[in-house]
């Protein structure tokens, strides 16, 4: 059975210095810098070898066009995979949560993979709103985005990619963001991409009566909030793309993994929607 064999391996492709208030938490402490990992995931179902996002470029490019980046010995995704004993040629599917620069580098190294994203995200990525030239590494900046020349398979809405692995829409951080839901012996593990940055985003900010303390980094806060509610409704466990706590375990699920309560009602901290 696939579900018994399914394992999720986080790969840290490096660290970025980001602002607590501008990125991590809505109205958080502006000016406080925090080191966040840039994670992608290798999902092995026994039948399929899947990458969810493909991570950062080298530190020099990341620092020049984006944020101060420190690899601290971390490898880019193809080399990290080789170190785990998996040849990048064996990857048959790359699912992209979205096409921001820190989620797509080295994707061409997975040359036997189907590349999957949403049509809305691809449209924005190839012709970004000027405010997001850097996010998508637009050619007007004199660089070439990693996804240029790649043929994508476009999926919309809740879609099963292979048995036990599906995607569902989570727009808000970007226009066509999607999360990946992986069924495991421990329940549904949601790879949330940048719909949340760290686990704390799913917890309340009580003094404001916010049921969630969502990230600041949304192109659309209403859609972003709905997406967080949808993740809350689906996930027994959440793995974000920038959460240092993920690195405490090399593989998921693990023995004794504590599952979360889905859509837990907390008096005084109302939900706003039923999800998406
Ligand atoms: Zn992003």
State the residue range of the domain holding 85. 2-248
Does 82 reside within a domain? yes
Does 186 reside within a domain? yes
Does 38 reside within a domain? yes
For the chain, the domain total comes to 1
Closest CA to 39 of 238, 258, 228, 237: 238
Does 264 reside within a domain? no
Inform me whether the pLDDT recorded for 8 exceeds 90: yes
Residue 58: per-residue pLDDT: 83
Interval 259-275 mean pLDDT: 92
**Structure token pair of residue 93:** 């599917």
Does 254 reside within a domain? no
Interval 120-130 mean pLDDT: 97
Residue 61: per-residue pLDDT: 84
Does 271 reside within a domain? no
Inform me whether the pLDDT recorded for 71 exceeds 70: yes
- Cα separation of 41 and 8, whole Å? 7
Which burial class, exposed, middle or buried, applies to 85 when counting CB atoms under 10 A from its CB (0-12, 13-18, 19+)? exposed
What CATH number does residue 27 fall under? 3.60.15.10
- The answer for residues whose C-beta is within 8 angstroms of residue 239's C-beta and 6 or more apart is 8, 10, 39, 41, 189, 190, 191, 192, 246, 252
Does 273 reside within a domain? no
pLDDT band at 119 (very low <50, low <70, confident <90, very high): very high
Distance 209 CA to ligand 1 centre (A): 26
Distance 4 CA to ligand 1 centre (A): 31
Say what the pTM is.
0.96
Interval 191-195 mean pLDDT: 97
Distance 255 CA to ligand 1 centre (A): 31
- List CB-based neighbours of ion ligand 1 within 5 Å: 100, 194
Does 77 reside within a domain? yes
What are the DSSP calls for 12-81, one per residue? EEEEEEEEIIIIISTT--TT-EEEEEEEEEEEE-SS-EEEE------HHHHHHHSS-EE-TT---HHHHH
Percent of the residues in the chain that have a pLDDT greater than 90, as a whole number: 85
pLDDT digits (tens, 9 = 90+) for 197-242: 999 999 999 999 999 999 998 899 999 999 999 999 999 999 999 9
Residue 70: per-residue pLDDT: 84
Distance 102 CA to ligand 1 centre (A): 7
- Cα separation of 217 and 202, whole Å? 15
Residue 202: per-residue pLDDT: 96
Which H helix or E strand runs over 159? strand 159-162
Inform me whether the pLDDT recorded for 1 exceeds 60: no
Cis peptide leading into 253, omega within 30 of 0? Answer: yes
Q: Average per-residue pLDDT in the chain? A: 94
Inform me whether the pLDDT recorded for 270 exceeds 90: yes
- The answer for residues whose C-beta is within 8 angstroms of residue 32's C-beta and 6 or more apart is 19, 20, 21
């Amino acid at each position: 059975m696939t579900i018994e064999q399914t394992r999720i391996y986080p790969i840290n492709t490096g660290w970025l210095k980001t602002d607590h208030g501008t990125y991590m938490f809505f109205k958080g402490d502006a000016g406080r810098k925090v080191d966040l990992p840039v994670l992608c995931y290798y999902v092995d179902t026994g039948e399929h070898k899947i990458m969810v996002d493909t991570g950062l470029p080298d530190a020099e490019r990341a620092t020049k066009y984006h944020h101060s980046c420190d690899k601290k010995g971390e490898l880019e995704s193809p080399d990290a995979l080789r170190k785990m004993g998996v040849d990048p040629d064996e990857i048959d599917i790359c699912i992209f949560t979205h096409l921001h620069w820190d989620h797509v580098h080295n994707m061409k190294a997975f040359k036997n993979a189907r590349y999957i994203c949403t049509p809305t995200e691809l449209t924005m990525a190839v012709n970004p709103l000027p405010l997001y030239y850097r996010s998508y590494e637009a050619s007007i900046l004199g660089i070439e985005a990693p996804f240029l020349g790649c043929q994508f398979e476009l999926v919309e809405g809740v879609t099963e990619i292979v048995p036990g692995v599906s995607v569902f829409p989570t727009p808000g951080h970007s226009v066509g963001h999607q999360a990946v839901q992986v069924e495991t012996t421990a329940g549904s593990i949601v790879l949330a991409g940048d719909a949340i940055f760290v686990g704390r985003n799913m917890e309340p900010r009580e003094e404001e009566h916010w049921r969630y303390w969502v990230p600041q980094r949304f192109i659309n806060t209403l859609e972003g909030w709905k997406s967080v509610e949808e993740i809350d409704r689906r996930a027994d466990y959440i793995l974000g793309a920038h959460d240092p706590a993920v690195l405490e375990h090399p593989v998921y699920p693990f023995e004794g993994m504590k599952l979360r309560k889905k859509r837990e009602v907390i008096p005084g901290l109302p939900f706003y929607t039923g999800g998406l």
